[in-house]
Structures are given as structure tokens and as C-alpha cells.
Structure 1
Amino acid sequence: MESSVPLGFAPPPPSYDEATGSGGIYPQGIYPQGTALSPPPQPPMEKAASPYPPQAYAQMYPSPQPVPTVQPLVSVQTVYVQPTAFGDVPVQTCCPMCSQTVITRMEHTSGTMAWLVCAGLCIIGCMYGCCLIPFCVDGLKDVTHFCPNCNNPIGSFKRL
């Protein structure tokens, strides 16, 4: 038995042209006996019918429609921010009653600080009228700020 293939090795596979040259059937005599020479012949494949009817691209993928947006109803409310630090000087502010920008008018009234200084002067011996001096000094009195247009109180400043 003469063979060009050394012992222990399989013969080389056929080339593409040899394998497909006879309609997809391998040529006879390449494979040892007892092996399948070729797969069973298959009928030519036809185009399978689609389960869906053909449609244009625009029908398959419609362009997204703009979603109508509802604009929320916005109510505007004017908020007047008053300075939190009314002092012993007039301030420019917006009156919440008449909505005018004004410079406040001030009134001084005797408060806790004036009474404490009066009591302190009485303790140290100033009982003959000198203890009443704190009621004449505006620097020891509380301050109330008023609107000059409508005369409503806007804020106050307490000494103590």
C-alpha cells in the first residue's frame, strides 16, 4: 500500500474548488471508507415570507410628535423685605401700607433703658431731680419708625 501521507496523519482537506466543484458534493475517493462523503442535498433556499407586511420606513419608525407642554399659571406676589435693623437714625424703606418708598419719621419714647438709668442714679444719691435726666436724653429712649405719608408704624428699635 503506497501512500503519500505519512502514517498517523489524516489526508489534507480538499480545496474550496474541489469541494464545491461538483455542486457541493465532495469528490469520491478523498475520504476513507465508512465516512459520509457529503451532506444530504438541500433544496435551494427560497426567500421566507415575512410575518409582517412590507412597510415604508416612515410607517415603521414614525417621527416623534412634539408633546404639548402646559405652561403653569404663575402668580406674582410682591414681598416687601423690611430692614431688620431699625436703629436710632431714619432709614429709607418701602411702606407696607401705602407701598411708597419713604424715609422714616422717628418718635422717641421712654423705655426700659431710661428707667434703669433713672433707678441707678437714685441708688448713687442723685434723688433731687438729677435722676430724671435719662427721660430727656434721646440716646436712652426707644425709637419707633413711622411712614411720613400714611403715619403707620413701620418698625421699632428697643434700647434694652
Structure 2
Amino acid sequence: MDSVKFDYPESQPPVTTYQPVPPPPYAVAPPPPGLVSHLPSASVQTEERVVTIGTTASKFGPYSQNVFCPSCRQITATSIRYKTGVVTWLTSAGCFLLGGVIGCFLIPCCTDFTRDVEHSCVNCGLKVGLYRRI
């Protein structure tokens, strides 16, 4: 076989070294209103205490739960009491129309799964919420 000789240029391209550029300085912006920063601030802050009295009507369910009572100012479990509500009366009317004339239409008044749930504070007895089935 014939020997083939490859001609490479004797001079190589210049090698550039990479020198990292420092990042631009970042300005520290104050946190948006409503958020609490976990970093200490250089300025003196006054402490604000927000107390919410009452609750929104969205978080109560059919079971006992922990709540903050605005009357006794403690976090306690609620005691629950079942009350007849709209679902109870609609179910009773449906049973009556389907032939429950003998008294079977009163069964929804005796079951807990059709009745509304009233939440009260265990310590002071204040009504803190109501869970309605509808």
C-alpha cells in the first residue's frame, strides 16, 4: 500500500481562554405586600398584629376540626351538633312522594348524613361555623 501523508498546517489557531464575567449586581426589592420576608431587614419595623374575628364559610365540614375561637382566644376542637336543614326536608319530601306515607319519610330527620352540622367551641360554647349540605 502506498503511504499517504496528510499535511497539517504547522500553526494552530490561537487558543482563547474563557474568563467568566461577574454577574450584574442585583437590587434587593422589598417583598410584595401581604408576604412576610424570612430575611431580617435593615430598617426598624413596627410589629402589626392582625386578628380575624369570624371565619369564612368555606372550611367547615361534617366532622369536628380545630379552629381558633375569637371568644376564648384558644385553638380548640369543635363540638358538633346536627340540625335539620334543606337536604333533610327535601329528602323527606321525596320519600313521602315515593310512598313513604306510613312514616318512612321521617327517616332523613333521624340520620346524620342528611342534616346540617353546627360547629361550636368546646371551651366557651360559641357557635363558630355551620356546614350546610346544600
Q: TM over 0.5, yes or no?
A: yes
Partner of 1:94: 68
RMSD of Structure 2 on Structure 1 (CA)? 2.2
Identity %: 31
Partner SS state of residue 133, structure 2: coil
Aligned ranges for residues 56-135 of structure 1 at < 5 Å? Answer: 74-79=47-52, 82=55, 84-135=58-109
Q: Distance in 1 between matches of 2:118 and 2:102?
A: 30
- What's the TM-score once normalised by structure 1's chain length? 0.51
The residue that corresponds to 2:132 in the other structure is 158
Distance between the aligned counterparts of 1:121 and 1:76, measured in 2? 52
2:97 counterpart letter in structure 1: I
Tell me which structure has the larger Cα radius of gyration. 1
1:140 aligns with 2:118: no
Distance 1:74 1:111 in 2: 44
- Residues 60-119 of structure 1: CA distance to partner in whole angstroms, max 9, x if unpaired? xxxxxxxxxx96755433346847321111001111111111000001000000100100
The runs of 5 or more residues in structure 2 that have no matched partner are 1-42
Structure 1: which 5+ runs fail to align?
A: 1-69
Question: Of the two structures, which has the highest relative contact order with CA contacts closer than 8 Å and spacing of 6 or more?
Answer: 2
AA partner of residue 92 (structure 1): N
Q: Secondary structure at the match of 2:88?
A: helix
Change (3 A) 1:105 1:129: same
Runs of 4+ in 1 over 2 A off after TM superposition: 70-84
More strand by share: 2
Task: Using structure 2 for the length normalisation, give the TM-score.
Answer: 0.61
